[in-house]
Amino acid sequence: MNHAPAAQLQAHLNQARITGVTITPVAFKDPPLLNTVGVHEPFALRAIVEVHTDAGVSGFGETYGDAGHIARLKLAADSLPGTDIFNINSMRVAIIHALHQDTIEGGHGMSGMVTGSSTGDRVLSAFDVAALDIQGKLLGRPVSDLLGGAVREAIQFSGYLFYKWAAHPGQAGDAWGEALDPTGIVRQARTMVDRYGFGALKLKAGVFPPEEEIAAIQALRGEFPDLPLRIDPNAAWTVETSIRVGKELDGVLEYLEDPTPGIDGMAAVRREVGMPLATNMCVVSFADVAPAVAAGAVDVILSDHHFWGGLRRSQFLAGITETFGLGLSMHSNSHLGISLAAMVHLAAATPTLDYACDTHWPWKDPAEDVIKHGALKFRDGAVEVPTGPGLGIEVDRDALERLHRQYLDCGIRSRDDTGYMQRINSSYQLQSPRW
């Protein structure tokens, strides 16, 4: 038997230590999508994290692009050289140590809608994904294999509907057009379903009085009698309003997502409403799980590897939800292809993730990404799990440079939906709950 290839692989793996990290902030065009804290700015920010090793192989992760988050990523990156790329536990310890005396302000990347997540997990996530990308490339196996193996070949996503303006003030309109009433939302949903084949729909609510949003859901139900529907007002409603809406839409929705703020509020709604309650706001870190379970606050947790500490720790969350008989879905924010690939590998290797995952993908200009075209395609509302080594995608370095230039030129340094809205409408006030 010839042991030479095995010996070569061993030598290669022995060398896989981190030599450095490159963090590249990027900006990509974003339409004026409305939510309960304001409106999306003309550009969304992300940070692309490339981890280099002495094996000559590098890997990528994608995360929030807010200035505070980038400052923390840099602190973390400085602590990693010398770490074995197969030892994500050591990376985590180094990162948490590096952040120990962190006095950096802000950097949550979610415009105030998710603020209680663990800073260490939020920072670790992009490094975890990059490490798994490298491990997969070294071993010639997809990331889903490193997570225990894919249990599905394609991942179902939901069509994420937003109320929106026709255009950012002073700019030309986008192809989606305006959606400010049930007719506009149904038109948007029809385009999304025809274009991507989504088999579930989610409405971002908390923008208009609840009656108008109930009407939009009823209009969607009329147009798409068989599709599961969800509504997510990001805690814009009081407990009383949530109960009223929950009763009215019982039997119409698959789940009701974050109607009201906090674990106690959600628990009060859940006692009165028959359908499942879901969250990506009151359970956003491991510290929130026990109080939420004790209070009986939710039925479904929307995981998100960007703030749950990466892919392995998101699987750890999946184990917890399974243990407590909770459902598992997946949350998203505006993102590019590296994140989509990571979401797909995670969902593929998480057997209990039964709901269609959220994605902001349709809202991105298809011409803008940091990955080469072709690896990730939607068919019948799903993305096939890449089978190539690592994340199974290739970063387009010219595109990365272009989107970095766009970041430098756009002037936005932190996501601020509320500030942008207030610049357009000076009487706009942040309020939660609003109705």
Q: Is the distance from CB of 316 to CB of 40 less than 8 angstroms?
A: no
Residue 33: which of Mg ion, ligand GKR, none does it interact with, CB under 5 to 8 A by kind? ligand GKR
- Cα–Cα distance measured from residue 303 to residue 252, given in angstroms and rounded to the nearest whole number: 23
Residue among 145 and 304 whose Cβ is closer to ligand GKR:
304
- Cα–Cα distance measured from residue 288 to residue 32, given in angstroms and rounded to the nearest whole number: 32
Q: How far apart are CB 32 and Mg ion at their closest, in Å?
A: 19
Residue 348: which of ligand GKR, Mg ion, none does it interact with, CB under 5 to 8 A by kind? none
Residue 242: which of Mg ion, ligand GKR, none does it interact with, CB under 5 to 8 A by kind? none
Contact set for Mg ion, span 236-265 (CB under 5 A): 257
Residue among 305 and 331 whose Cβ is closer to ligand GKR:
331
- Give residues in contact with ligand GKR (CB under 6 A): 33, 35, 110, 113-114, 204, 232, 234, 280, 331-334
Beta bridge partners of 45: 27
Residue among 58, 132, 128, 137 nearest 93 (CA): 128
Residue 110: which of ligand GKR, Mg ion, none does it interact with, CB under 5 to 8 A by kind? ligand GKR
Q: How far apart are CB 124 and Mg ion at their closest, in Å?
A: 22
Q: How far apart are CB 163 and ligand GKR at their closest, in Å?
A: 10
Of 166-174, 241-249, 272-280, 371-379, the segment contacting Mg ion by CB under 5 A is: 272-280
Catalytic residue among 168, 204, 305, 345: 204
**CB neighbours of residue 226 within 10 Å:** 6
Task: Give yes or no: 364 in active site.
Answer: no
Q: How far apart are CB 202 and ligand GKR at their closest, in Å?
A: 8
Whether omega for the bond prior to residue 433 falls within 30 degrees of 0, making it cis, is yes
Please tell me whether residue 280 binds Mg ion under the rule CB under 5 A.
Answer: yes
Sign of the Cα torsion 347, 351, 353, 357 reads: positive
Please tell me whether residue 36 binds Mg ion under the rule CB under 5 A.
Answer: no
Q: Is the distance from CB of 266 to CB of 277 less than 8 angstroms?
A: yes
For residue 300, what are the contacts with CB-CB under 8 A and spacing of at least 6? 255, 276, 277, 278, 279, 326, 327, 328, 329, 355
Catalytic residue among 331, 335, 345, 360: 331
CA distances from 161 to 145, 358, 418 (A): 33, 10, 20
Q: How far apart are CB 193 and ligand GKR at their closest, in Å?
A: 19
Residue among 214 and 298 whose Cβ is closer to Mg ion:
298
